[in-house]
Amino acid sequence: MCFGLANQGHAEDGYDLWLRYQPLESSAKARYEPLVTHLVAPNARPTIRAATDELQRGFKAMFGYDLVQRETLMGNGAVLVTRADSPNLKGLDLPFAKLGEEGYLIRTAVIAGNRTTIIAGNSDVGTLYGVFRFLKLLQTGQPIDNLDIVDAPKLKVRVLNHWDNLDRHVERGYAGQSLWDWQKLPLHKDPRYTDYARANASIGINGTVLTNVNANADILRPDYLQKVKALAEVFRPYGIKVYLTARFSAPIELGKLKTADPLDPQVQAWWKAKIDEIYSVIPDFGGLLVKANSEGQPGPADYKRTHAEGANMLADALAPHHGILMWRAFVYAAENAEDRHKQAYTEFQPLDGKFRDNVLVQVKNGAIDFQPREPFHPLFGAMPKTPLMMEFQITKEYLGFATHLAYLGTMWEEVLEADTFRPKKGSTVAKVIETPVDAGAATGMAGVANIGSDRNWSGSQFDQANWYAFGRFAWDPDAKAEAIARDWAAMTWGREAADPVVRMMMGSREAVVDYMTPLGLAHLMATGHHYGPGPWVSDLARPEWNPVYYHKADAAGIGFDRTAKGSDALSQYAPEVVKAWGSPKTIPENLLLWFHHLPWDYRTKSGRTLWDELVTRYDAGVDVVGKMQADWAALRGKVDETRWAEVRDFLAIQHAEATWWRDASIAYFQSISKRPLPAGHKPPAHDLEYYKAISNPYAPGQGK
């Protein structure tokens, strides 16, 4: 037993994420051993060291003994961890030209008579990514005898957004507190920060925005910049840059200026000096993320300036340092009678081409707010002269918090594969965000993190899959959700459990859609915390905060008419989309009530009336959870008991809450439709008043 290691056999708890490096089966070990006999890493630069540390860690855990490290290749089975410019690779004619800055190749080759696995990129970070890929091959039992892998990320900026406050509360966080222990930084760098960096590097995430988009200027204080610097030092070897959110009014709050007008020379000077200060402390600082003039946040409109004027002022201060400015397009005004769905497009599209090269406009996947299903955001494809980046939400604010099993890979694949038809057929959302608008422009994807201080990082075992999948989609927006799920399941649960686990995952998101917001319904959650159903809510200050605004249920029917007969939000899409979605008969039924208000008796594709179909979907969703419970029960003994029990408990919670959503929604909508439940579907357990009276004042993630 090694000195310094915890002596009691600690049960698995999810801390190791998908990097569990479980002991190999003897047959796999026998296959691999001749091919991985020693490690050669000619350079001990920090990132190469991070790479070899990981390889050593993984090898030791999987093979049961240390991987010998040698100065030079000494026989067959060398693993050469190096960089494109290594003399070892001379004359091999390897395709480094295809890799870009962060790509890697893994090639089986013979070098000076030694059968070698080469892992290398143009940069050390590329090599690090290659090592993680190699470890994944081992973890998933893939052959490694004849490798010819070439991989490079399709997006440049692949970042997490932590909605973390300085008091360590995580807004919409269901995994404990913020990881960043500001109180103890900079003098104490928690070892957990390194494990965070490892996990992100393993999925190619190369940046992290440390603070909430509902920003706090205090992060820009000199003492906090020292704390940020300490984090940057931990992340740097793993190729991860740090970013911060910038509160637009910081010149007033911190600078004691009288204005934050982006065209005011004093304001510009203040930001320039502040940004120069940041770079003097953190030379490779990534840049800033801004939420402005949205949900009460300050911004350029407070001074009658445009988003572009606000963004460009910051971008200009960042440009000499090669920093980027991510500017969110999530806007909807309090005093705007226009359908909320339309407002971001209305505000941003006319600004196309007006942003600086180093600005990325960050657009949520859909035009409302991270609902279980949303059609893709009409801005994708509509701003061909502006770098747009995708914003996904990994944390399950609207999909059941930490306890509901919902694999979001299927949601993200659906969005990324959607055809914007702009400029033409085949212009998928993925293609739009992958294609730089000009030679120097950036591309990117952001994910609102589900990571916190909980031992299992993400609040639940299965929520780790969404973090994992986000990294994989950021690397390759054309990736497939099922293949990603398979990789994750094999590494996280073991190969014996992988198939059933993948099946559970692939049906899970749709189950949530069905028991919460079927058939294109949306935004029907309880107020504030968004925990549990609240389709009756109609009393919030802003109309477009109310669930009734979204479902518009009345005696005649249900749904939001967004066609030309209604709000005409549909017209913001390409003509091909307008045509396909404009008719209830041709729109995919899972978007039906997103765009159409239809009678309760409307005949759906199944032959059932709309009302009957609604009820059927609610029950189908709950039934899928029941099926997951049965599938999971069957896996007992095939996975470790402690993690198995946590998932079992969470599925029980999910089933209870799915039933609650189903019962409350049916009770409410039936009070409006006044139609009987279809045969075979039980009435809700309680009356509507019971559901309306439920209060959960301490549900997590409320932002305070």
Catalytic residues: 295, 369, 397
Q: Are 466 and 451 in contact (CB under 8 A)?
A: no
Q: Are 48 and 104 in contact (CB under 8 A)?
A: no
* SS3 of residue 243 by DSSP: strand
Q: Which residue, 24 or 275, has its beta carbon nearer to a copy of itself?
A: 24
Length of the chain: 704
Tell me which amino acid residue 266 is: Q
Question: Shortest Cβ distance from residue 216 to a copy of itself (Å)?
Answer: 9
Contact positions vs a copy of itself (CB under 8 A): 1-13, 15-16, 20-23, 57, 60-61, 64, 166-168, 174, 176-177, 182-184, 187-189, 191, 218, 401-403, 453-455, 640-642, 646, 649-650, 652-653, 656, 697-700, 704
Question: Shortest Cβ distance from residue 419 to a copy of itself (Å)?
Answer: 40
Q: Are 360 and 410 in contact (CB under 8 A)?
A: no
Q: Are 152 and 131 in contact (CB under 8 A)?
A: no
Task: Give the CA diameter of the chain.
Answer: 81
Question: Shortest Cβ distance from residue 166 to a copy of itself (Å)?
Answer: 4
Question: Shortest Cβ distance from residue 407 to a copy of itself (Å)?
Answer: 20
Each residue of 484-511: b (16+ CB within 10 Å) or e? bbbbbbbbbbbbebbebbbbbbbbbbbb
Q: Which residue, 8 or 586, has its beta carbon nearer to a copy of itself?
A: 8
Q: Are 506 and 481 in contact (CB under 8 A)?
A: yes
Question: Half-sphere exposure of 65 toward its Cβ, with a 13 Å CA cutoff?
Answer: 7
Q: Which residue, 17 or 382, has its beta carbon nearer to a copy of itself?
A: 17
**Following DSSP, what letter does each residue of 601-664 receive, concatenated?**
T-B-TTSSBHHHHHHHHHHHHHHHHHHHHHHHHHTBTTB-HHHHHHHHHHHHHHHHHHHHHHHH
CA angle 252–253–254, rounded 5-degree value: 100
Question: Shortest Cβ distance from residue 518 to a copy of itself (Å)?
Answer: 25
Q: Rounded distance, CA 332 to CA 368, Å?
A: 9
Q: Are 634 and 500 in contact (CB under 8 A)?
A: yes
Question: Shortest Cβ distance from residue 193 to a copy of itself (Å)?
Answer: 13
Q: Which residue, 221 or 674, has its beta carbon nearer to a copy of itself?
A: 221
Q: Which residue, 56 or 69, has its beta carbon nearer to a copy of itself?
A: 56
Q: Rounded distance, CA 389 to CA 362, Å?
A: 5
Question: Shortest Cβ distance from residue 400 to a copy of itself (Å)?
Answer: 12
- Residue 462 exposed, middle or buried by CB count within 10 Å (0-12, 13-18, 19+): buried
Strand-pairing partners, residue 70, are: 40
Question: Shortest Cβ distance from residue 263 to a copy of itself (Å)?
Answer: 31
Q: Which residue, 608 or 692, has its beta carbon nearer to a copy of itself?
A: 692
Radius of gyration of the chain (CA): 26
Q: Which residue, 182 or 594, has its beta carbon nearer to a copy of itself?
A: 182
Q: Which residue, 198 or 617, has its beta carbon nearer to a copy of itself?
A: 198
Q: Which residue, 8 or 146, has its beta carbon nearer to a copy of itself?
A: 8
User: How far is CA 472 from each of CA 150, 155, 277, rounded to the nearest angstrom?
Assistant: 15, 11, 34
Question: Shortest Cβ distance from residue 102 to a copy of itself (Å)?
Answer: 27
Give the contacts of 544 (CB within 8 A, at least 6 positions apart): 332, 340
Six-digit token string for 289: 């993320």
* SS3 of residue 562 by DSSP: coil
CA 94 to chain centroid: 33
DSSP secondary structure letter of residue 546: S
- Segment 24-32 long-range contacts (CB within 8 Å, at least 24 positions apart): 24/62, 24/63, 24/138, 25/141, 28/141, 29/62, 29/63, 31/143, 31/145, 32/63, 32/138, 32/144
Q: Beta-carbon neighbour count of residue 320 at 10 Å?
A: 11
Give the contacts of 270 (CB within 8 A, at least 6 positions apart): 251, 255, 257
User: How far is CA 643 from each of CA 106, 140, 498, 618, rounded to the nearest angstrom?
Assistant: 34, 20, 15, 29
Q: Rounded distance, CA 167 to CA 88, Å?
A: 50
Question: Shortest Cβ distance from residue 526 to a copy of itself (Å)?
Answer: 14
Q: Which residue, 12 or 576, has its beta carbon nearer to a copy of itself?
A: 12
Q: Rounded distance, CA 573 to CA 103, Å?
A: 35
Question: Shortest Cβ distance from residue 470 to a copy of itself (Å)?
Answer: 24
Question: Shortest Cβ distance from residue 656 to a copy of itself (Å)?
Answer: 7
Q: Which residue, 187 or 337, has its beta carbon nearer to a copy of itself?
A: 187
Q: Which residue, 60 or 98, has its beta carbon nearer to a copy of itself?
A: 60
